[in-house]
Amino acid sequence: MNSKALAITAIKPAVLAAAIATALSGFALPVQAQSAPSPVQLVDALNGVFGSHAGARGSHAKGFCVAGQFEASSGAAAITRANMFQADKRTPLIGRFSIGGGNPKAPDNAKSVRGIALRITDGSERLEWIFVSAPHFFAQTPEQFVNFLKVRAPDPATGKMNPEAIAAFSKANPATTKQGAYLASQPVPASYATVPYWSTNAFVATNADGKAQAIRWRFEPMAGRLGLTDDEAKTKGADFLRSELAERLAKGAITFNVIAQLAQPGDQLNDPTEPWPADRAEINMGRLVINQITDQACDRETFLPTVLPAGLAPSADPVLAARGGAYAVSLGRRTQ
């Protein structure tokens, strides 16, 4: 893979900076914290709640690998000049479906967050997406991420969490309750193929004319949003998702529409707990086609949401910026 593959953009830096500054001049950009927890502290906070499990990720520990392709729509190039978004371009992908949290034996039939991680590359450029099945992340900043987990770490003496401390933290940090409230309001997904996934973080797309546009991503299942009743979820058991997807794939590929939601001036870009209003314009950027479950080779991989092709760039979201270092620490621990 050449050096161009991981470049954020090939536009001259001064030109790109000017375009992004112009496009984002009307957006709310919160002041960043002066200090942030280290990548080690981020992973330690996860391990403090879920424990350390040999060979497992610190988060989204339970999952399996898939493969397929991304098919760009005819209108995607209006938003980004990335080659893989040129009309009707088809690019191979590998990916991983997962259950949130650091427990490799997490139950599939609980109202927990689902995840999807993808790497799309044709050898000359590369895009990695990491999305969850809620429009809210559970922390606004890396500091809040660590504190959210620390207050949930079980007492070493009793092995239990402190509900009073959790309630006090939630009251003082109401943004951290949004993801849990959303998941509680939704049914247990019937399949990895029947639940939407959101980026929660914002990105900046730049087209061939140098026009920059802040976006958030969503994968919308073409099979529709389908859930289970509480009784149905109980009968499915704790490990039904892989076999369910295998049965579904035996009948044909599963597909998602790839949606870019377009920010308007005044929309904040740096708070992944707060979605933009639903009335924002959306563009169908293409289609994900997943056609097989593969071996577990992707468990040795790290998917980084800041690995982007020319024509896409990260926002200044501090949670997005913190992910790369934490994922590297997690990779090091699970491959020791």
pLDDT in tens, 223-246: 999 999 999 999 999 999 999 999
CA 308 to chain centre: 14
Model's pTM, two decimal places?
0.89
- CA 99 – CA 241 distance, rounded (Å): 10
Can you give the pLDDT at residue 334? 86
pLDDT at 14: 40
Given 57, 60, 96, 216, which residue is catalytic? 60
Contact present, 80 and 66 (Cβ < 8 Å): no
d(CA 281, CA 168): 38
186, amino acid identity: Q
**pLDDT band of 13, cuts 50, 70, 90:** very low
Measured over the CA atoms of residue 249, residue 199, residue 304 and residue 336, the dihedral's sign is negative
Query: Quick one: residue 260, left, alpha or beta (phi over 0 = left, psi -120 to 50 = alpha)?
Result: beta
* Active-site residue, 53 included: no
Q: Residue 15's pLDDT band (boundaries 50, 70, 90)? A: very low
SS3 label, residue 102: coil
Among 58-67, 104-113, 163-172, 297-306, the minimum mean pLDDT is found in 297-306
Given a cut of 70, whether residue 269 has pLDDT beyond it is yes
For range 95-108, the mean pLDDT: 97
pLDDT surpasses 80 at 156: yes
Stretch 71-76: mean pLDDT: 97
